Amino acid sequence: MSLEWKSCKIGDVVSVRRGASPRPIKDYISEKGMPWVKIADATKDQTRFINFTSEFIKEGGIEKSVVVNPGDLIVSNSATPGLPKFMNIKACVHDGWLIISDYQKALNTLFFYYELRTNTVQKQFHSLANGTTVDNLNSELVRDVRIFIPPIELQNQFADYAQSCDKLKFNE
């Protein structure tokens, strides 16, 4: 087995696309309907999951947004740029989120999640984020961020270990 790590851009191993918001959003917010993921929902706890949302959007707003499903990985592109979270529910994400999909076969999704959380990647996200009031990333900037990918065997071992640690820490 080769222990050589591959340096590549995020866009070389996954697809990155932006969420969308129905406008004006206030016309679509509701007390029931499709869960609507906000940054506050992602920063409520330290787990890697979005399990619930505090707001919902009406049926008419769903088609003007982007639906994500359990298991999908999303990354914030504003307010707290670069924060990755796995979805544990079906929901809609607004344009403050990026959706990660189409993983290369030789990429473990849990390993990739933790790679996004490394200081090296987070520093790149923060140095690229720009904006007048709130720092923002965009899908092109994220696609160009460089990461290091070990052989899949090591990714799988790391993911197994990380999952064991998370079960102890968060009682998952």
The per-residue pLDDT for range 95-122, each reduced to its tens digit, is: 999 999 999 888 999 999 999 999 999 9
- Which H or E element spans position 15? strand 15-18
The per-residue pLDDT for range 117-148, each reduced to its tens digit, is: 999 999 988 888 776 566 678 899 899 999 99
12: nearest Cα among 104, 116, 111, 122? 104
In this structure, what DSSP letter does residue 57 have?
E
19: nearest Cα among 65, 86, 59, 80? 65
The per-residue pLDDT for range 37-69, each reduced to its tens digit, is: 999 999 998 889 999 999 999 999 999 999 999
- Which H or E element spans position 55? strand 55-57
3-state secondary structure of 93: strand
Angle of helix 109-117 relative to helix 152-170, nearest 10 degrees, comes to: 70
Query: Average pLDDT, whole number, for the chain?
Result: 90
How far apart CA 37 and CA 51 sit, in angstroms, is: 10
3-state secondary structure of 45: coil
**pTM given for the model:** 0.90
